Structure 1
Amino acid sequence: MCFFDQHRFMCGDWKWGHFRQHCNREYRIGETCGMKLIMHTVPVGQKCKLCEKIDTKVRRRQAEVDRITRWQREGGKFRASIDKSVEIIRSLDMEIYEMSCERNRRLQAVGN
């Protein structure tokens, strides 16, 4: 049971930080026993990388929705572009859903 820092992001996700202290079970110099315990929790004032990716995809999806709305106001001459944007939105929705599921799995994992 060796001790490490834990970095906690604004979104609730976390990651292991620097090694801090050996436990009495590890006798080899420079090695850890493999069991990690938290020495200090360091709050991080930003979201994790996965949440940043989700936010980026949500912004891109909103831009496509705005583009479709603008094209529909201008008339039916952009049908192919609208169809392409609808397909992009569909794929972004799928990616956002998969990333959200991954984030939920990580939040429910042991160590939280």
Structure 2
Amino acid sequence: MCYFDQTRWACGYWKWGNFRQQCNKEYRTGETCGLKLVYNTTPVGAVCKICDQITKKNRRVTKMYDDIYRWQREGNRRATIEKTERDIMEINYQISELQNTHHERMVSI
């Protein structure tokens, strides 16, 4: 039960910080017992890097949908539309992976 700093973003994501205090169960200098307790939480007003990546990917998908809509009106761009639809599926998969990672960290404390 050694104590560490913690950083918590506005979206709920968190990470461990620096080692702060050794518990009385560990007698060796510089070693930790393996159990982490929060010594101090530093709130950050912005969203985390994962949320920022999700936002960027969502904007990219929105632009791709707008491009597809424009290309359908123009006509004669079937291959470009199909490639963009495949790209959208891939980006949506990446977004879901990022959301799962974010959710696991939020509920794991």
TM-score exceeds 0.5 = yes
Shift of 1:32: 1.2
Runs of 4+ in structure 1 deviating by more than 3 angstroms, as ranges, are none
Aligned-CA RMSD value? 1.3
Q: Which residue of 2 aligns with 1:59?
A: 59
- Distance across 1 between alignment mates of 2:94 and 2:101: 11
Matches within 5 A, 1:13-52: 13-52=13-52
Please, which runs of 5 or more residues in structure 2 have no aligned partner? none
Match of 1:16, SS state, is strand
Report whether the alignment pairs 1:76 with 2:96. Answer: no
- Counting matched residue pairs gives 109
Q: Which residue of 2 aligns with 1:8?
A: 8
Match of 2:33, SS state, is coil
Deviations 1:56-100, CA, capped at 9 Å, x for gaps: 211111111111122223x21222111111111111112112221
Please, which runs of 5 or more residues in structure 1 have no aligned partner? none
Match of 2:24, SS state, is coil
One-letter identity of the residue aligned with 1:53 = Q
- Distance across 2 between alignment mates of 1:95 and 1:89: 10
Greater mean alpha carbon deviation, residues 17-26 or residues 97-106: 97-106
One-letter identity of the residue aligned with 2:67 = R
Q: Which residue of 2 aligns with 1:98?
A: 97
Greater mean alpha carbon deviation, residues 96-105 or residues 28-37: 96-105
TM-score, normalized by length of structure 2? 0.90
